[in-house]
Amino acid sequence: MQKSRLIDQLRSALRVRHYSIRTEQAYVQWVKRYIYFHHKRHPKDMGEKEITAFLSHLALHRRVAASTQSQALSAILFLYKRVLDHDLEWLNDIVRAKRPVRLPTVLSRDQIRPLLAELNGTNKLIGHLLYGSGMRLIECLRLRVKDIDFEYKQVMIREGKGGKDRVTLLPERLVSPLTKHLERVQRLHNTDLNQGYGSVYLPFALAKKYPGADTEWGWQYVFPSRNRSLDPDSGQIRRHHAHESNFPRALKQAARDIGLNKPISSHALRHSFATHLLEDGCDIRTIQELLGHRDVNTTMIYTHVIRRGGRGVRSPLDK
């Protein structure tokens, strides 16, 4: 019972600080693994020594990636600082997993064209949007209707990585297919309303601040799920966004069908977007803003291609 209360306190502390549901799930799992590693001892009875042992175990025996070990450390430090109110000094004795420097998987334009052409239906539209705007997959799936600005040909990404908003490109080539797609989604939404449903999840208690906004058209997901489901927090039957496993599965199948022998993921479309903009002469700072990178050094990895001067920004999808 004591452990259960601790996990509940951890979830509450994360939600008060508006951490994403994905971060909440990851932190809860890491704290549980930390507790089980030390034979279910309560974290308040442990400290730097036990944390060092657990993280060193991840690096030496489990051979986890550096980013994975860093996430585990962040989860445990959050537990001690925000839940147990126990401030820990920097742990110098931790054996940290070495982060390798890897170049991103980039597809040429001649590879992008048949790959996107092989996709069907909504997955085809998602693929074109990822490559044409540089969005992450989860950012694309979380788009609301109000975030698409057809007049200015731009997409507003809300609460992206790091909790930041940003604006990216809406390729002119996608205006017509995206408009037709939204017409179909609106018919689906109207059907939900007629059947007594039509509610969608709203972040940061906006449902209380704006009663009825959860059924408004502008707040609906651009890529909704095929089926309605139970919202575990509110207990309401709602239509969430499409599951994030659907598109990667379709993309990998499309790559196999055209005989593409590169390791393909949805992130490869984002990498290709950035690289092709560089090839077209777009400056690195602009690409940094479009991708939402905090540090320009992160964007500099795409300079393994030759840059040629600076010109006006245009989505590579419109070429």
Tell me the β-bridge partners of 144: 221
Q: Is 161 assigned a catalytic role?
A: yes
DSSP-derived letter for residue 146 is G
Choosing from 27, 34, 80, 302, the catalytic residue is: 302
Cα 280 from Cα 238, distance rounded (Å)? 43
CA 240 to CA 191: how far, in whole Å? 15
Q: 261 near 119, Cβ under 8 Å?
A: no
Do residues 272 and 253 lie in contact, with contact meaning Cβ atoms separated by under 8 Å?
A: no
Distance CA 316, CA 128 (A): 10
136 counts as catalytic: yes
Both tokens of residue 312? 């006006």
Q: Which residues contact 285 (CB under 8 A, 6 or more apart)?
A: 296
Q: Which of 241, 270, 271, 276 is catalytic?
A: 270
**Which two three-digit tokens encode residue 135?**
């969005």
Q: Does the annotation mark 267 as catalytic?
A: yes
- Active-site residue 173, yes or no? no
- Asked if 161 and 136 touch (Cβ cutoff 8 Å), the reply is yes
**Residue 189 is a catalytic residue:** no
Q: What is the DSSP string of 2-66?
A: HHHHHHHHHHHHHHHTT--HHHHHHHHHHHHHHHHHTTT--GGG--HHHHHHHHHHHHHTS---H
Query: Checking DSSP bridges between strand 148-149 and strand 237-238, what pairing results, if any?
Result: unpaired
Please pick, among 161, 166, 228, 307, the residue that the annotation labels catalytic: 161
Decide if 302 is catalytic: yes
Reported as half-sphere exposure (CB side, CA atoms, 13 A), residue 143 has a value of 28
Q: Which of 128, 136, 239, 241 is catalytic?
A: 136
Which stretches within the chain are classed as H helix?
Answer: 2-16, 21-37, 48-60, 66-78, 109-118, 121-133, 137-141, 175-194, 206-209, 246-257, 266-279, 284-291, 296-299
Residues 189, 271, 276, 293: which is the catalytic one? Answer: 293
Q: Number of helices (H) and strands (E) in the chain: give both, helices first.
A: 13, 5
Q: Which of 86, 267, 307, 314 is catalytic?
A: 267
> Which residues are marked as active site?
136, 161, 267, 270, 293, 302
